[in-house]
Amino acid sequence: MEKKDNQNQQKDNKKTLKKEAKEGKATAPKRTVLIIEDQDAIAEAERIILQDQYNVHLASDGLEGLKKARAIKPDAVVLDIMMPHVDGFEVCKQIREDPSLSHVKIVMVTSKNREHDEQKGMGIGADDYIMKPFEPVELLHVLKQMLG
């Protein structure tokens, strides 16, 4: 069922693109990014940074993040590591275990500066890693690299 839905969605996207091309709108549709971050101030700043180029959704903890990821199937997840209840590593693991989210790119954003966290994150399936504090351009660059 899910596969069919995906296929239909892709077909719809293609149709929309063709339509837009005919109408002279050459711009590609915005990709969707889900920010999972428990610090509201940081989440809001990240939203402002990304909103011009992406459709941005916010989740304030790991559990909500997983729910939203399954519901909206984002193209990329910007994932904080240290969060209450379910941490970023667990969220990353569960996203990777979910076949319907296999396409999702994951950027881990952490305040830790320890090498083993980076290795751990990459080991369980994160695609990239940026360390707090970061410049807006860094986040944009990482997402651009991943989503094209």
| Residue ranges binding another protein (CB under 8 A) | 39, 41-42, 45-46, 48-49, 82, 111-115, 132-136
Q: Are 110 and 88 in contact (CB under 8 A)?
A: yes
Nearer to another protein, 81 or 104 (CB): 81
- Beta carbon of residue 69, minimum distance to another protein (angstroms, whole number): 23
Q: Are 145 and 111 in contact (CB under 8 A)?
A: no
- Beta carbon of residue 108, minimum distance to another protein (angstroms, whole number): 14
What is the token pair recorded at 43?
A: 């989440």
Nearer to another protein, 49 or 104 (CB): 49
Q: Taking the CB of residue 8, how many other CB atoms lie within 10 A of it?
A: 10
Nearer to another protein, 64 or 87 (CB): 87
For 66-99, what is the HEC assignment? HHHHHHHCCCEEEEECCCCCCCHHHHHHHHHHCH
Nearer to another protein, 45 or 101 (CB): 45
Write the DSSP assignment of 127-139 as a string of letters.
SEEEESS--HHHH
- Beta carbon of residue 54, minimum distance to another protein (angstroms, whole number): 14
- Beta carbon of residue 113, minimum distance to another protein (angstroms, whole number): 6
